[in-house]
Amino acid sequence: MAIRNHASNPGEKHHDQQHGQHRDQHPEKHSKQHSENLLERPDHSKTIIGWKEWLSLSELGIFFIKAKIDTGARTSALHASSITLKHERGHKIVCFTIKPLPNRPDIIVNCEAPVIDERVVSDSSGNREKRFVIKTHLHIGGREWPIEVTLANREKMSVKMLLGREAMKYLMVDPTKVYLLGRPKNVLKTYRNLKKTKKKKSTHKSMQKATGQAKL
């Protein structure tokens, strides 16, 4: 069986020499094409973040929350209190509360979301517990995509959310930096306004209910 040596073919060798000469004559063009090819790779479209960042889970009403980026964890985890389960049209809905700002225990967000799974998860201490899993949209660095989050007890932790590997498909982490995406403004004001809006709606519903009962 004959083995063809491409390098020994005079025509191909001449073509390679010409290609090399052309590349040497136009190094800036070759460098530009190489850079463009690199930019087309998926990794180069990722947002670079620090090991701690602000992000948003607006579907849950959590507009600002600090998260620790944990590449050692597969699934993201969110601190949740007062967890209760209800059923609506055959679907499980989990209700819970969260205090997104560690230094402001008066800021409480009431959340609810469909349960997509229940999993046994090991924490950093090796303790295993069964957790509800929900799906919500992550907003970070001007980008948005759906992620899965487990509801965990992080009461003793200063950071109320861990962002795990499965949520990092559009992210790259610089472990030497924090808050590369900046710090949001008017965090407290946003939550206060949200609280006032909910209070007004609650009062309005109560008045409607009272008025309806009075008419009866």
111 is a domain residue: yes
Query: Number of structural domains, the chain?
Result: 1
CATH, residue 138: 2.40.70.10
Whole-number pLDDT of residue 24: 52
Whole-number pLDDT of residue 45: 85
25 is a domain residue: no
20 is a domain residue: no
Best mean pLDDT range from 3-12, 117-126, 176-185: 176-185
Q: Does the pLDDT value for residue 132 go beyond 60?
A: yes
198 is a domain residue: no
102 is a domain residue: yes
Domain that residue 95 falls in: 49-191
- The pTM (predicted TM-score) of the whole model is 0.70
172 is a domain residue: yes
Whole-number pLDDT of residue 82: 94
What is the C-alpha to C-alpha distance for residues 21 and 127, in angstroms, rounded to an integer?
A: 64
162 is a domain residue: yes
Q: Is 163 helix (H, G, I), strand (E, B) or coil?
A: strand
The 3-state DSSP composition of the chain as helix, strand, coil percent (nearest 5) reads 35, 35, 30
The confidence band for 154, taking pLDDT boundaries of 50, 70 and 90, is confident
Query: How far is C-alpha 60 from the geometric centre of its chain's CA atoms?
Result: 13
What is the C-alpha to C-alpha distance for residues 93 and 114, in angstroms, rounded to an integer?
A: 4
Query: How far is C-alpha 99 from the geometric centre of its chain's CA atoms?
Result: 18
